[in-house]
Amino acid sequence: MLDIQHLRVVYGITEVLRDVTFDVPQGSIVALLGGNGSGKTTMLNTLTGMVKPAAGSIRFEGIECAGLPAKGFVQRGIVQVPQGREVWPSMSVHENLELGAVTRKDWPGIRSDMEEMFEIFPKLKPHQRKRAGALSGGEQQMVAIGRALMARPKCLLMDEPSAGLAPAIVSDMVDTILALNRRGLTILLVEQNIGVAAAVAEYAHILQNGEIAFSGAAAGLVDNPAVLGAYLGR
């Protein structure tokens, strides 16, 4: 579904991603792991048009998307849930969700999707008029995911959704990711938490210094001391 070939991203004279090639099959959950500075967030920003690649190809459902503006990626169905939630803190939960559908004009569809968001995240319903910045970290993560879903994505790119959340909330987040995948959503999950990645993903790729250093089944990662030691510093 999402096919990345020989992707190269450069910031000034620094090569952040080097010849990265991997794919995200339709209906799957793929994890992209790596330590700080390995290029994970740059990868997601490139896959959502925030960063322009210097070379390589990003094909989504067979159509080349490299170089498109961010809006083009959203319109084609690739939407990012950014690291650190990045909700609009002074706006209400309802407004945050509403603006997730900013590229759409099917008003009845937007209204019914809004109702659906409160079914997926019932904890948000009583807070829908509250400022998003006043919610807890877990609730803000729900708003961020709901906002992305309002664009009706086919492929969701999640940047460290477990970061900064309490362990109990992380467990809820894992359930949410699996539930979204069961609804047919393809997910590329960027994580530092290898436990979360192993719990939800089928495949995993490890980025190290901007290159894919390991690719394989996600379940094997936790039991692979060589992988943990070499690439994640454990």
Partner 1 sequence: MLLFSYLLLGGITTGALYALVAIGLVVVNKSTGIINFAQGELFMFCGFLAWMTHVQFGLAYPLAFIAATVGGFLLGIVTDRLAFRALAKTDIVGLVLATVGLAFVLRGTARMIWGGKGDYLSFPPITSPEPVMIGDIMVVPQQMAALAGAIAIMLVFAAFFRFTRIGKIMRATADNAKAATLVGISIQNVYTLAFGAGAAIAGAAAVLAAPLTLLYPDMGFSFFIKGFAAAVLGGLTSLSGAVVGGLLVGVIESMAGGYIDSSMMEVAPFLLIMLVLIICPTGLLSLHKTRDV
Rounded to a whole number of angstroms, the minimum distance from the CB of residue 215 to partner 1 is: 27
Given the complex with partner 1, which of 96 and 204 has the nearer CB atom?
96
**Between 26 and 90, CB nearer to partner 1:** 90
Q: Who contacts 14 (Cβ-Cβ below 8 Å, separation ≥6)?
A: none
CB-nearer residue toward partner 1: 35 or 88: 88
Query: Minimum CB separation from partner 1 for residue 117, in Å?
Result: 14
Question: Strands, E, within the chain: which ranges?
Answer: 2-11, 14-24, 29-33, 55-60, 63-64, 78-81, 155-159, 186-191, 203-208, 211-217
**Alpha-carbon span 73 to 103, nearest angstrom:** 11
* 10 or 228: CB nearest partner 1: 10
* Minimum distance, C-beta of residue 227 to partner 1, in the bound complex (Å): 31
CB of 110 to partner 1, least distance (A): 11
Give the footprint of partner 1 on this chain (CB under 8 A).
Answer: 48, 50, 69-71, 74-75, 79-80, 82, 86-91, 95, 98-100, 102-103, 147-148, 151
**Which value, to the nearest 10 degrees, does the dihedral of the CA atoms of residues 70, 156, 99, 95 take?**
-150
- To partner 1, the closest distance from the beta carbon of 65 in angstroms equals 14
**Looking at beta carbons only, is 82 or 210 nearer to partner 1?**
82
User: In whole angstroms, what separates CA 30 from the centre of its chain?
Assistant: 10
For the chain, report the end-to-end CA distance as a whole number of angstroms.
Answer: 32
